[in-house]
Structure 1
Amino acid sequence: MVRKRKIPGYLWRRLSQLLFFVLFLFLFIKTDYTGSDELEYAVNILFRIDPLLALAAIFAGKTIVALMLPALFTLVFTLVFGRSFCGWICPMGALVDGAAAVIRPPQGTVGKDLRPVKYYLLIFILVAALLGLPLAGYLDPFSLLVRAFSFAVYPAFDFAVSSFFTFTYLHAPDWVNAVSEPVYDFLKNTVLPFSHRVYGLGLLSLLLLALVLLLNHWQRRFFCRNLCPLGGLLALVSRFSWLAARGGDEQCGKCRQCRTICRMGAIAEDRRISPADCNLCLDCVALCPRQKIHLSFQRPQPAAGSYGITRRAFAGTVATGALLPLFLPGRLLARRPDPLLIRPPGALAEDEFLGRCVRCGECMKVCIGNALQPALLEAGIEGMFTPLVRSRIGYCEYNCTLCGQVCPTGAITKLALPAKHATVIGRAFFDKNLCLPYAKGIPCIVCEEHCPTPDKAIKFRPQQVVNSRGETVTVLQPFVLDELCIGCGICENKCPLPGLAAVRLTGEGAARQAGQTLPGW
C-alpha cells in the first residue's frame, strides 16, 4: 500500500497567505461603485477586525465604536492560536514575505534586537489617542497597505492598462482589436475602477509601503518584528495563548538551524520559542532534522527573554504621548477649522472626526467623483491623510452615499439618500474678478447647468455691462442662494476657466454632527 505524502505545514501557511491576500484584493477592488449606491460586500472588514485601530478610535473618540466590535474576534483568535494572525492572515505580512523572495534578507539574528520598539510605539499611540491625538493610522499595517494601493498602485495599474488598450484600439489592425476590446471590456467590468482616479500624496504613500518592504534587506520581516504596533498588541496577547510552538532540547547539540531560519527571531539560544514573537509559520517544524519542534495546546513554556522595556523608556514614552498633543497646532485647527477645509457629507465634528478617522483611504477609494483627497497639512499634522473635498479635481456626486458606507469607525456617518441630499458640506461663492459674465461681459451658464439641486442653488440676474470690446451688452450674472447650496462642488469642478475657478467652495455652513462620548470622558 502506497503511503500518502503529508503536505508540510508551511505549505498550508503559504496557501492561507495567498488566499487571504486574494481576498484582500477582491475586497479592495469591490470598494467601488458598481452601478448601485449600495455596496454588495463588507469591504471594510479588514479594518473592523483590527484591534489597534479599534482601541485608538475608542480612546481618541471617547466612545464605544460599535462598527469595530469585530476586532474582539482577532483578540480571541490570538488568545487561542497565538500570533498566527500575523503569519497566516495579515495581507501586509504576506506581501512582506513575498518581497523577501526578491530582496533575500539575511537569516538568523542580525544586529541589535529592536523588538521592544513595537511596544514603545504601541504605548505611544494609545496614550496619545487617549488625549485626543490619533496616530494609529500612520503605522497600522492595513492603513499603510490600503493607502498605497488606493493612491498609487491601483491608479497606476489602471492608467497602464487603459493606455495599452487605447494604443491598440488606435493603432492595431482590426483583427487585434477584435480580441483586445472584449478583453478590455472584461477588465473594466471586473478589475479596473469605475472611473480614472488621481490622488495627492500617492508617491508618499507608495514610498512608505516600499520602505516597509525594503527593510527586509536588513532583517527578515523587519517591520513585523520591530515596528508594527498591531503586531505589538497581538504579541502581548499571544504571551498567554493556548497554542504555541515548543522548541528543541539539549539533545539537539550544536544544531541551531531552527534559530537561523526563524523569520521573526522568536527562538532563543537555548531553543525556547517566544510565543510573543512566533507567528507559527511552521518553517522550523519542517526543517528540524530531529523533528523536535511541534505545536501543542498546553501551558506555554516560559517566554524566551522579556519585553525588553525599561522603566525609564516606558515613562519617557508615556510622557511623550501625553505631551505631544499639547504642542501641535492642529489642536487649534480642530476647534477652528480652516474655512477652505471641506469634509465628506456625514463627517463628525472636526475634533471627533480626527479622533475616529484611521486614515485608511477607503472613502477616497470609493468616491465616484474623485472629490475626496488626502489632506497634507490643511488640518495640521494630526489631519494628514484624512479626507477632504478638492472640487477642482472632482465633485461630490449628488446621489452617492458610499463614503459613509465604507468608513469602518463611523467618522463619516452612513446617510440615507434623502438625508445626503439635505446635508450641507460647504457653500459656493463667485469670484467676480474671474467669473466671465462679471469680469468680461461674456455669457457663461455652465455652473448653473450642472447644479444638481432640484431648485438650482445658482440663479441669474440680467445685467448690462461693458465688455472687453467696449460694447454695452446684457449678460446673465450668476449668484448663489445659500439656503439651497449644499457644497457639492460640481460648479467649481466644471468651471471652464483654466487654473483657479471663478466659483469656489468654503466650509461655511457645513453640517457637522456631534458623536456620542462615554460618560466622564
Structure 2
Amino acid sequence: MLRKIRVILAGFFFILITVLFLDFTGTVHAWFGWMAKIQFVPALLAFNVGVVVILIALTLLFGRIYCSVICPLGVFQDTISWIASKQKKNRFSYSPALSWLRYGILILFTIALILGVSSVFTILEPYSTYGRVASNLFVPVYQWGNNLLAYLAERADSYAFYSVDVWVKSALTLTIAAVTFVVLAILAWRNGRTYCNTICPVGTVLGFMSRFSFFKPAFIEDKCNGCGLCARNCKAACINVKEHTIDYSRCVTCMNCIEKCKSSAMVYAPRKMGSKKQDATQIAEGNDSSRRNFLSVTALVALTSALKAQEKAVDGGLAVIEDKKIPKRATPIVPPGSVSSRNMERHCTACGLCVSVCPNHILRPSDKLATFMQPEMSFERGYCRPECTRCSEVCPTAAIKRIKIDEKSSIQIGHAVWIKENCVVMRDKVKCTNCERHCPTGAIQLIPLSDNPDSLKIPAVNTERCIGCGACENLCPARPFSAIYVEGHERHKII
C-alpha cells in the first residue's frame, strides 16, 4: 500500500510538472505553477525559506521522499527503470557507496553556486536537467501533435485548436538535452538510481539528512529468511542482506523492498523498531563520512541561501521576405523582472520554463559560457509585449521576479540603437515609419533629413523613454539585420 501511494503521488507531480513545460496557453500554470517553485534548488535560490524548511523537515521525518515523489528527474528515472523491469526482474544488487564522487561533485556544485559559475551548476541541478529535456525534446512533439489537431479541426470547421510555431531555439541546448536524455535513460535502464546516488548534488544533501530520518525502512531480522528479494529490487543498491543493513543516505524511500518481501521482514517504521544491530552498524558506517563531509553540506545550504524567423509577406502575401539575423549585442538582454544580468547569472538554473511559455518567441537559451543555457531575449520572431508577464509568473528561482502588468512599461531593460547603414530610408531612399508607429512608449520620433518639406525622415531615439521592448527591432523592414536594434542594460532601470 505504501508503494502504491508513493507511485500515485509521484505520477501526479511528474505529469503536471511535465505539462508545465508543454503548456503554451498559460492555463496549467495558473493552477499548478507552484510545483516548480517547491523544487529544492529553485527554492534555495529564491530564498523561499518556508519551502526549504518543509522539504528538510519531510526528509528528516520520512527520508528522501523528495527524490521519489517531487523531483521530476527522479520519477523520470523510475519510469525508465520500471519499463526495464518488465524484461528482467530482480536485477539489482548491493554496491558500496562512491562517497568520494558524491561529495566531490557536491563541493564542485557548491563552489559553482557561490561563484555564480552557471555553466556548472545548471548542468548538475536535477529539476533544471529534466526541464531542458522536457522543453527541448518533449515540447516539439507536443506542439506537432497540437498542430495536427488544429489542422484536422480546421477541416471540420472547428477552431478549438490553433497551430503554433515549432522551432529550434538553440541547437547546442537541444544537443545537450538529447545527450542527457540518452545517458539518464541508459543509467536508469541498467542500474536504477545510479545518477541520483553518485552525481546529483541534491540527492547527496538530502541523503546526508536522511541518515537521521525518523521513519525509515528497516529489517526485522527474526523474520528475514535471506532470500535477497529486497536487495534485488532496490534501485538505489543500498540494501546489504548479508549484514541486514541499509545505507540510508542512498535510500530514496521507494518502498520496493517492503512490497517485494514475502516474509514481512521489511517494515517502514520509526527507528526504534529497527534492530539494535542495524542502528549500530549504520551509525558506525555513517559517523566518519558525516564528519568529513559536514562542512561541505553546510556550505551548500548556508552559502547558497545567503546568496524560422517570423515571416512577413508583401505584395498580398505572395513574396516572402528574407529571415532576420540576430545582431551582435555588447550586453545581452534579460527579461523584465530579472533586475540585472548579474542577478540572472546567480539565480537562474536554466530550467527553460520561461523559454517554453514565452508566447512572443523572444526568449532562447544562451550559448555563452558565462550564462550558458540561461534565457536571453532576441526579437527576430516577436517583441516583448507590454501586457505579457508570463516569464515572471513561472520562474521558480526569482531569477525573474514577479512583476505586474502596470509595472512592466516602466522597466527599462535596454535601449534602441539606430544603424544608419541598414535603414531603408538611407539605403533605398524610401519612406518608412515602422519603428516610430509601433513604439509603445513614444521613445522614437522621426526627424527630417533636410529643411525640404518633402524630405525623408529618419528615427531619433529618446533613450530616457525607451524600455527596450524590441518592437522597433522586430518590425523594422530592413533585412537581414534590422536598422534599429536593442542594446541591453547590465542593470535595469525604472523610468
AA partner of residue 422 (structure 1): S
Aligned to 1:74: 55
Shift of 1:158: 0.5
Match of 1:136 among 106, 121, 126: 121
What residue is the counterpart of 1:294 in the other structure?
Answer: 267
Distance (Å, rounded) in 2 between the aligned partners of 1:224 and 1:165: 40
1:343 positional shift: 1.2
Using a 3 Å threshold, how does the CA distance of structure 1 residues 254 and 482 change in structure 2: closer, same or farther? closer
> How many angstroms apart in 1 are the aligned matches of 2:365 and 2:418?
26
Correspondence 1:264 to 2:252? no
Amino acid at match of 2:57: V
Q: Which residue of 1 aligns with 2:103?
A: 119
**Unpaired stretches in structure 2, ≥5 consecutive residues:** 300-327
Cα pair 1:340 1:505 within 8 Å, conserved: no
1:204 to 173, 176, 181: 176
Tell me if structure 2 keeps the 8 A contact 1:118–1:227: yes
How do 1:93-108 and structure 2 match up within 5 A?
A: 93-103=74-84, 107-108=91-92
Alignment of 1:497-512 (within 5 A): 497-508=478-489, 511=492
CA contact (8 A) 2:217 2:266 kept: yes
Contact 2:217 2:268 in 1 (8 A): yes
Of 20, 26, 30, 1:40 maps to 30
1:386 maps to a residue whose letter is Q
| Matched residue SS, 2:413 | coil
CA displacement at 1:122 relative to structure 2 = 1.9
How many correspondences in the alignment?
450
Query: What percent of counterpart residues are identical?
Result: 26
Give 1:363 deviation, angstroms: 2.4
- The equivalent position to 2:10 in structure 1, one of 9, 17, 20, is 17
TM-score normalized by structure 2?
A: 0.80
- Contact 1:49–1:73 (8 Å) recurs in 2: no
Taking the aligned partners of 1:417 and 1:295, their CA distance within structure 2 comes to: 50
1:264 partner amino acid? A
The DSSP-based 3-state class of the residue aligned with 1:425 is: strand
**Correspondence list, 1:357-372, <5 A:** 357-372=348-363
Q: Which amino acid in structure 1 is aligned with residue 128 of structure 2?
A: S
Give 2:345's aligned residue: 354
1 CA distance for matches of 2:467 and 2:78? 47
Deviations 1:344-367 (A, max 9, x none): 112233333321222222322332
Q: Distance in 1 between matches of 2:96 and 2:189?
A: 15
* Aligned equivalent of 1:342, options 333, 339, 356: 333
- 3-state SS of the aligned residue for 1:426? strand
Q: TM-score when scaled to structure 1?
A: 0.76
Match of 2:250 in 1: 277
Partner residue, 2:449: 463
Contact 1:247–1:294 (CA under 8 A) maintained in structure 2: yes
For structure 1, the 5+ residue unaligned runs are 1-7, 58-64, 171-176, 320-336, 466-472, 514-521
Query: Structure 2: which amino acid aligns with 1:271?
Result: H
Q: Tell me how far apart the structure 2 counterparts of residues 373 and 89 of structure 1 sit (CA, whole Å).
A: 27
Change in 2 beyond 3 A, CA 1:416/1:164: closer
- Give the alignment's Cα RMSD to 1 decimal: 3.5
| Alignment partner, residue 39 of structure 2 | 50
In 2, Cα distance between equivalents of 1:254 and 1:493: 69
Paired residues of 2:340 and 2:490 also in contact (CA < 8 A): no
CA distance in 2, matches of 1:198, 1:450: 28
1-side partners of 2:297 and 2:246: how far apart?
28
Distance 1:52 1:429 in 2: 38
Q: Secondary structure at the match of 1:207?
A: helix
User: 1:371 touches 1:390 (CA, 8 Å); kept in 2?
Assistant: yes
Structure 2 CA distance for partners of 1:26 and 1:398, relative to 1, 3 Å: same
1:480 to 1:510, Cα distance in 2 relative to 1, 3 A: farther
Structure 2 CA distance for aligned equivalents of residues 394 and 148 of structure 1:
25
Give the alignment of 1:407-418 within 5 angstroms: 407-418=395-406
Kindly provide the amino acid, as one letter, of the partner of residue 387 in structure 2. N
